[in-house]
Structure 1
Amino acid sequence: MNLSTHRLGVAIPDSRIAREAAELLRDTGHHLLFQHSHRVYFWAALLGKRENLAYDPELLYTASMFHDLGLTERFHTSQLRFEVDGANAARDFLRGHGIAEADAQKTWAAIAFHTTPGIPEFLHAEATLLHVGAGMDVAGRHYTQFTDEELEAVTHAYPREKTFKNDIIDVFYDGMKHRPASTTGTFNDDFIACRDPSFQRVDMCSVIAASPWAH
């Protein structure tokens, strides 16, 4: 139990699934993602508590631990979107623990759509909360909805390094530079363009104009 976050009224689920999900992420050796993923869970859980949303803490925690797993070295040969890699891994993990297929699919969707604005809020609470939690920790979205006590408690338990803003861009770039095509139609191409001056974004208007159709 972490006392700094316990007083907020939310906690990490005390279950085998939660422990093993955290261990799997820790075993990647990616400390930044481990800390980030825990903060994402707490931002999500705090918002869920405030909005009185009915969600499964174990599924939300698992989704938080897996949501950026696709950026790690394990997937550096994949050509899928990194979100799909993480979603597939989470679904397999939950299936392996005997979780109901509906819940495994719910977790898959939460992770797969967590970087896609305009969709998660229409799926289910876990998807809504994961999307908000990730956006809060990476881009500061909904920052003003959290109290000073909440901000201090979560970042004390899972510190945000002074270089996090720059480092998280590097993590995204490293996780996607080998599969730039997977970023088409998403804001993930921003990370490639930020670190690779030679990167050419796909312009859909140009694609349409150059299509084989006569008109």
Structure 2
Amino acid sequence: MATDVIAGITIPDSKLAREATELIRDTESDLLYHHSVRVYFWGSLLGRRRQLRFDPELLYIASMFHDLGLTSRYQQSQLRFEVDGANAARDFLRSRGVAESDIATVWAAIALHTTPGIPEHMHPEIALIQAGAGMDVAGRGYQDLGDDEREAVIAAHPRGHDFKHGIIDAFYEGMKHRPDTTFGTFNDDVLAFKDPNFKRADLCSIILASRWPD
């Protein structure tokens, strides 16, 4: 794992971080791996810009595991992909004796990273995983970082050719076998975009069709 300073941010050079990097590098595609590392850098840069105090190691672990649930090892899972990643990070951290309070923070950061309106009011590590992922996927906060910062991170961990369609494809492949888990999130947008036969769940119809008489 490179420990060079990129835009003033360094990947934690700890045994825990190195083992997480090795696990994710061996499991995820290049697209997801480099995306995950960039999430750490964007989250760190945005945290620094917002003057938030956060634990770089916890932020890095959460970044690395946040999309693990999209990989082929979870092709049979019927959990939300975010929960698969959160559970994997929890098992990883518990096996290495990390404090339960820190594990809970990492779990929530991963589980909530596609749930808007909540993480930004929680621990900085939780807020910054969502912020970093939103920056890399949708460009949220793009204007808050300097050209030199963005260019330095992309040079070290490139987006590659047509990342926009590539990440949509990765989301689709990780969720198409569990469409019901996208209800209540914006993940159903991916299934609707990729599959013309996908039917969105409708909360109002669910309420009206419930067994309550009125």
Q: Sort the TM-score into its range (normalised by shorter chain).
A: over 0.9
Q: Is the 8 A contact 1:39 1:137 kept in 2?
A: yes
SS at match of 2:24: helix
Q: Is the 8 A contact 2:3 2:13 kept in 1?
A: no
**In 2, Cα distance between the equivalents of 1:29 and 1:44?**
20
Q: Which residue of 1 aligns with 2:27?
A: 28
Q: Which residue of 2 aligns with 1:41?
A: 40
Asked if 1:202 corresponds to 2:175, the answer is no
Q: Against the structure 1 CA distance between its residues 41 and 7, is the aligned structure 2 distance closer, same or farther, given a 3 Å change threshold?
A: closer
- Deviation of 1:210 after TM superposition, in Å, equals 1.2
**In 2, Cα distance between the equivalents of 1:34 and 1:7?**
17
CA offset digits 1:93-151 (Å, max 9, x no partner): 11111110100111000000011001101210000100000000000001000100001
Q: CA RMSD, aligned part only?
A: 1.0
Aligned amino acid, residue 102 of structure 1: S
TM-score, normalised by the number of residues in structure 1: 0.96
Q: Is the 8 A contact 1:110 1:126 kept in 2?
A: yes
**In 2, Cα distance between the equivalents of 1:51 and 1:141?**
14
Counterparts in 2 of 1:180-195, with a 5 A limit?
180-195=179-194
- Deviation of 1:8 after TM superposition, in Å, equals 2.0
Q: Which residue of 1 aligns with 2:120?
A: 121
Q: Is the 8 A contact 1:110 1:127 kept in 2?
A: yes
- Deviation of 1:7 after TM superposition, in Å, equals 5.0
TM-score, normalised by the number of residues in structure 2: 0.97
Q: Is the 8 A contact 1:2 1:157 kept in 2?
A: no
Counterparts in 2 of 1:49-60, with a 5 A limit?
49-60=48-59
- Deviation of 1:51 after TM superposition, in Å, equals 1.8
Q: Which residue of 2 aligns with 1:175?
A: 174
Asked if 1:69 corresponds to 2:68, the answer is yes
Q: Is the 8 A contact 1:66 1:87 kept in 2?
A: yes
Q: Which residue of 2 aligns with 1:93?
A: 92
Aligned length: 213
Aligned amino acid, residue 21 of structure 1: A
Q: Which runs of 5+ in 2 are unaligned?
A: none
CA offset digits 1:74-95 (Å, max 9, x no partner): 1111000000000000011111
Q: Against the structure 1 CA distance between its residues 29 and 83, is the aligned structure 2 distance closer, same or farther, given a 3 Å change threshold?
A: closer
**In 2, Cα distance between the equivalents of 1:29 and 1:145?**
29
Deviation >4 Å, runs of 4+: none
**In 1, Cα distance between the equivalents of 2:152 and 2:85?**
28
**In 2, Cα distance between the equivalents of 1:29 and 1:102?**
27
Q: Which residue of 2 aligns with 1:108?
A: 107
Q: Which runs of 5+ in 1 are unaligned?
A: none
Q: Is the 8 A contact 1:110 1:128 kept in 2?
A: yes
